Amino acid sequence: LIPVAVLGATGAVGQRFVQRLAKHPWFELTQLIGDATAGSAYGDVPWRLEDPMPESVASLRVEGLQALGEAPVVFSALPSGVAGPVEARLAAAGRRVFTNASDHRMDPAVPIVIPEVNADHLDSIDRSKGFIVANGNCTSVILSLAVAPIHRAFGIERLDVTSLQALSGAGYPGVSSLDIADNVLPHIAHEEEKVESEPNKLLGSWQGGFRSAGIPIRATCTRVGVREGHLESVHLQLARDATLAQVREALESFRGPKDVAALPSAPKRPIHVLDAPDRPQPRLDAGREQGMAVSVGRLRARDRDVRFVVLGSNTVRGAAGASILNAELAKVRGLLD
């Protein structure tokens, strides 16, 4: 078992990290770092996920960052802004950092990885040293997964996306109930920039440097009063003609590389295509394959005009689960040796 620590272990994403690492077959959760609650037993910190806190972590003590021990692998659920310098320092000191924070995503030396999509971007890592591997922004990951097989098969010339994002995406306490009750918020700070840039890094190629996929992406990001599950309405213009059946087949048959499919956290099928006209729905579909699969529905295609909605668990596939899957990939590709 490889010892791992979680930074920011008591927040919304941090709790997802802890939940999914508590019984991990390869990683052993040895430290929970949380400056605000340092000194408390983890079991005494309010737990906000539906399933009960894993018993094995309740007795762990939350510690301050300065107490970070030997764990060679560090998962970071730190807030963006705070994360940047901390992660840089840890990497410089030889740690392998898998981060959910946005600070380093567009760094030329940091890959954004979705194992099923661009596992080869790990080639950018110099394995002789510490490093940072980022997962994308929650909305970007869910979008990129759904779009990857279409982009590969038919090319994408234009992408318009409007997201309906869940409350858990804002962390805890996050959105005030007074702001969202009987309401929608039509803006999420700094979100659209990420959604318009990250997928192009992800879907692009590594050739000694990262080359953008060059898709013009236009995003509008909104917040709705749903606890978990980002829903995205995606309108595409393809580079080549495709029938509805062909697009559907590309989505359904999409699988990552063989070694990715065998990772402990990998879903059996990264993308599920739903045919019921009123699916996917956040409450019913966000948890598909333990939250690691995305659900595509309302698939429509006409000439080069393709539309669908895609839903994914923002705190799992779009955050903690994404980072853990990246670490699993790093392990099988020899980066944690």
Task: Provide the annotated active-site residues.
Answer: 138, 230
- Contact between 152 and a second copy (CB under 8 A)? no
If binding is defined by CB under 8 A, does position 279 make contact with a second copy? Answer: yes
State which of residues 164, 292, 319, 322 lies at the interface with a second copy (CB under 8 A): 164
Smaller CB distance to a second copy: residue 3 or 225?
A: 225
Q: How far is the CB of 137 from a second copy (least distance, A)?
A: 18
Beta-carbon contacts of 11 under 8 Å, excluding residues fewer than 6 positions away, are 34, 77, 79, 171, 172
Q: Measured between alpha carbons, how far is 24 from 1 in angstroms, rounded to an integer? A: 9
Does residue number 10 form part of the binding site for a second copy (CB under 8 A)?
no
Binding mask 298-317 for a second copy (x = CB under 8 A): x------x-x-x-x------
Q: How far apart are CA 52 and CA 50, in angstroms?
A: 6
Q: How far apart are CA 107 and CA 197, in angstroms?
A: 12
186 touches a second copy (CB under 8 A):
yes
| Distance in Å, CB of 236 to a second copy, minimum | 10
**Position 175 contacts a second copy (CB under 8 A):** yes
The reply on whether position 222 binds a second copy by CB under 8 A is yes
Largest CA distance in the chain: 60
Bridge partners (DSSP) of residue 305 are: 237, 302
- Answer for which of 83, 117, 145, 167 binds a second copy (CB under 8 A) is 167
Sole window of 1-9, 94-102, 220-228, 241-249 interacting with a second copy (rule: CB under 8 A): 220-228
Judged by DSSP in three states, 334 sits in: coil
Site for a second copy contains 80 (CB under 8 A): no
Q: How far is the CB of 226 from a second copy (least distance, A)?
A: 6
Question: Distance (Å, rounded) from C-alpha 98 to C-alpha 75?
Answer: 5
Among 6, 83, 226, 301, binds a second copy (CB under 8 A): 226
User: Considering only residues 43, 72, 155, 287, which one is a binding residue for a second copy as defined by CB under 8 A?
Assistant: 287
Q: Does 22 bind a second copy (CB under 8 A)?
A: no
Per-position DSSP letters for 101-149, written without gaps between them: -STTTT-TT--B--HHHHGGGGGGS-TTS-EEEEPPPHHHHHHHHHHHH
Please give the DSSP secondary-structure letter assigned to residue 200.
Answer: H
